[in-house]
Amino acid sequence: MEKELKDTAYDAMAAMQERLKDVDVVFANSDYVAQGAYEALRDMGLEQSIQIVGTDGFTGEDEGVDMVMQGKMAATISCPTGGREAIQYATNILEQESGVPKQVILRSRTITKENADWYLAELKKETKDAGDVITMGYSQVGQESKWRLANTRSIQEAAREFNIRLLFDDANQSQEKQIAAIRRFIQERVDVIVVSPVVETGWDEALKEAKEAGIPVVMSDRKVVTEEKDLTTTYIGADFLEEGRRAMRWIRDNISPYKEEMKILELKGNKGASPTEERGRGFAEILKECPNYQIVYSEYGNFTYEEGKEIIETYLHNHVWDVDIIYAHNDDMALGAIEALEQSGITPGKDVKIISVDATREAFQAMVEGKLNCAVECNPLLGAPLMKAVRDMVSGKEMPVRIITEEKVYDESMAEDLINLRAY
Ligand code: AHR
């Protein structure tokens, strides 16, 4: 197979000789293709004037990394095979260990002459978790929802289970307090800092200070957007974009349009938070394929029961009720909306269909009562995957780029059967 790839690449390069005078770089989809391309360029006397970038990062003789070290390739992009991780997670599953995620996105490296030796040493490095106590500084966003309370419980319980000394700070929705907590953790020389960020941006300075102090930072539950790359190690949490898509797909597939324009009212989380922005974008992505549905009113409810209720009260004060569907970015806002509707004589789940995200036990109870129609799961039980990933990182294992939790979509047809099985 490898020889075929190499020979085919050689012939392809030779066949385009006339056009190569305008080419500066060849990108090869595998290092075997790169080998064939290199030999063709060498035979045409062009190996000095045209650079090659390959993919795979295999470490055998005359394979990707070796070709980079010999100067035959400018770089190769590693494509981790995942074998070691697959065995590790399979073992965890067999041993019924907690913390095994649904999906893990492994880290890819750009290997050049400058870092090839380091890359080979990293691959050979033996890692062993001695089980020592690890000190973790955790900056939690607040206590805004039932989901958050379950998330906090999960973090605290898992810290005990995984022998992690937890310095836990509740920021009560304040980015300023979260940044102060990060700086305090740096002063206290913790082994790792974990942040569930209230918003996506504004973290660069504090994260740079952690990087300069040599303290890894892991994002839990929510993500950040930074100007400088590599300020955080891993993100452990949900796929909020997909959650938004799932909500609108459920509407499309379960609420047939009974009029030209089905009016949707959107209750959004807090402005600038990754779940708010991405659940909104994911929902809109599917919505634009559904011409009979339209968001007619959208307001930030900050993921709280009270503000979900207030938004509906305000809407009712300023409009004759004309909404067919409510899409709430979390259960707490949906439940607050349900209370406001009932107080106004509107039957939630019947007069207006309601879809929310989180799928907490309270949401299941509302579905059992027919007041909520669908709950898209966002799993708050991140404690075990987080602590497992941190122990792996401190013991020297390479951290995946992303660790995504398992999630499903539930509706009132199954709520009765499942409510007593809910873990949060
Ligand atoms: O970041 C996750 C979101 O934050 C949850 O959906 C919401 O309930 C919490 O407040």
**By CB neighbour count within 10 A (0-12 exposed, 13-18 middle, 19+ buried), where does 187 fall?**
exposed
In the numeric block, the tokens 């305000």 are attached to 314
| pLDDT (average), residues 249-255 | 98
What spacing in Å lies between the alpha carbon of 45 and ligand 1's midpoint?
A: 60
Cα separation, 106 vs 80, whole angstroms = 7
- Element (H or E) spanning 8, and its range? helix 2-15
| pLDDT (average), residues 118-126 | 87
Which candidate, 190, 221, 183, places its Cα nearest to that of 205?
183
Atom of ligand 1 nearest to the CA of 332: 8
Which candidate, 195, 200, 173, 172, places its Cα nearest to that of 183?
195
Q: How many CB atoms lie within 10 A of CB 398?
A: 17
303: DSSP letter: T
Q: pLDDT at position 98, please?
A: 60
Q: How far apart are the first and last CA of the chain?
A: 50
Cα separation, 22 vs 35, whole angstroms = 21
What spacing in Å lies between the alpha carbon of 236 and ligand 1's midpoint?
A: 14
Task: Give ligand 1 pocket residues (Cβ under 6 A).
Answer: 144-145, 147-148, 221-222, 275, 303, 330, 357-358, 378
- Beta carbons of 107 and 399 less than 8 angstroms apart: yes
Atom of ligand 1 nearest to the CA of 357: 6
| pLDDT (average), residues 281-296 | 98
In the predicted structure, residue 102 carries a pLDDT above the cut 80: no
* 333 compared with 93, residue with greater pLDDT: 333
Number of H helices, E strands in the chain: 15, 17
Which residues have C-beta within 8 Å of that of residue 288, sequence separation ≥ 6?
A: none
Q: Which of 222, 303, 335 to mutate to test the pocket of ligand 1 (most atoms within 8 A of CB)?
A: 303
What spacing in Å lies between the alpha carbon of 389 and ligand 1's midpoint?
A: 21
| pLDDT (average), residues 281-297 | 98
Q: What is the pLDDT of residues 160-182, one digit of tens each?
A: 999 999 999 999 999 999 999 99
In the predicted structure, residue 108 carries a pLDDT above the cut 80: yes
Q: What is the pLDDT of residues 374-387, one digit of tens each?
A: 999 999 999 998 99
Q: What is the pLDDT of residues 302-315, one digit of tens each?
A: 999 999 999 999 99
What spacing in Å lies between the alpha carbon of 113 and ligand 1's midpoint?
A: 44
Give phi and psi for 255, each to the nearest 5: -120, 90
Cα separation, 216 vs 399, whole angstroms = 11
Cα separation, 156 vs 165, whole angstroms = 10
Atom of ligand 1 nearest to the CA of 222: 1
* 385 compared with 293, residue with greater pLDDT: 293
Q: pLDDT at position 15, please?
A: 95
Q: pLDDT at position 287, please?
A: 98
Q: Which of 221, 335, 405 to mutate to test the pocket of ligand 1 (most atoms within 8 A of CB)?
A: 221
In the predicted structure, residue 99 carries a pLDDT above the cut 70: no
What spacing in Å lies between the alpha carbon of 279 and ligand 1's midpoint?
A: 11
Q: What domains are there in the chain, each with its CATH number?
A: 2-124 (3.40.50.2300), 134-237+381-405 (3.40.50.2300), 240-378 (3.40.50.2300)
Cα separation, 96 vs 341, whole angstroms = 44
What spacing in Å lies between the alpha carbon of 379 and ligand 1's midpoint?
A: 10
Q: pLDDT at position 275, please?
A: 98
Q: How many CB atoms lie within 10 A of CB 108?
A: 13
What SS3 string covers 352-377? EEEEEEECCHHHHHHHHCCCCCEEEE
Q: How many CB atoms lie within 10 A of CB 53?
A: 17
Residue nearest (by alpha carbon) to ligand 1 atom 3: 275
CA distances to 139, 167, 180, 181, 210 from 187, rounded to whole Å, are 14, 13, 11, 10, 10
Atom of ligand 1 nearest to the CA of 378: 6
What spacing in Å lies between the alpha carbon of 376 and ligand 1's midpoint?
A: 12
Q: What is the pLDDT of residues 186-222, one digit of tens each?
A: 999 999 999 999 999 999 999 999 999 999 999 999 9
Q: What percent of the chain has pLDDT over 70?
A: 99
In the predicted structure, residue 127 carries a pLDDT above the cut 80: no
What spacing in Å lies between the alpha carbon of 147 and ligand 1's midpoint?
A: 6
In the predicted structure, residue 317 carries a pLDDT above the cut 80: yes
